[in-house]
Structure 1
């Protein structure tokens, strides 16, 4: 089965991680706080976060995931993370 790309959105930050539920282990995790200082914020920053996550996923040999939006509407920041991850090479 495919690992899951989970998105958590707080009032100030966005956290994304790729989780292998069969082994109960996080393969890759990233947050907007890990991005370089002065990087974009909001929707544009979330898209960059998705691209960075896809790059880290490739290093971990993950290419296909299931997108877990955790009840958030597929819109705004959540949608931008998904689009960035797709542009970075992840398949949903």
Structure 2
């Protein structure tokens, strides 16, 4: 019997494999959510470099947010990462949800990133 960590890794690898086929040189917007915070980063896999990153721990967001692990925090992180990516000259990305389902905080972050100027 496989552990939940092994199953989660399988889901994450399956999503990333599909993204590599479809990305065609576009950077990847990767999301990680923990119980207390949410993190997002735009990664250029061809060079292996993080182009832009944001999280609910950032000083500019920390004072605004009541809680780092709710939809409002995810939306603020999405806006901030989109703003930083556009400033770095990136407008098109592929969305890497990892092993998470596309709902709740992950969906709120994605919607806010789209509103911030990223297309995926």
TM-score (norm 2): 0.73
Q: SS at 1:73's partner residue?
A: coil
Q: 100, 113, 117: which is aligned to 1:72?
A: 100
Greater helix proportion: 2
Gaps of 5+ in 1: none
- Gap change, CA 1:40 and 1:56, over 3 Å in 2: farther
Greater strand proportion: 1
CA RMSD of aligned residues (A): 1.0
The separation in 2 between residues aligned to 1:11 and 1:61, in whole angstroms, is 32
Query: Higher relative contact order at CA 8 Å, sep ≥6: structure 1 or structure 2?
Result: 1
- 1:1-92 alignment runs, 5 A limit: 1-34=25-58, 35-41=61-67, 42-92=70-120
Residues paired across the two proteins, number: 92
TM-score (norm 1): 0.95
> Computing the radius of gyration over CA atoms, which structure comes out larger, 1 or 2?
2
Following superposition, the deviation at residue 45 of structure 1 comes to 1.5
- Gap change, CA 1:40 and 1:80, over 3 Å in 2: farther
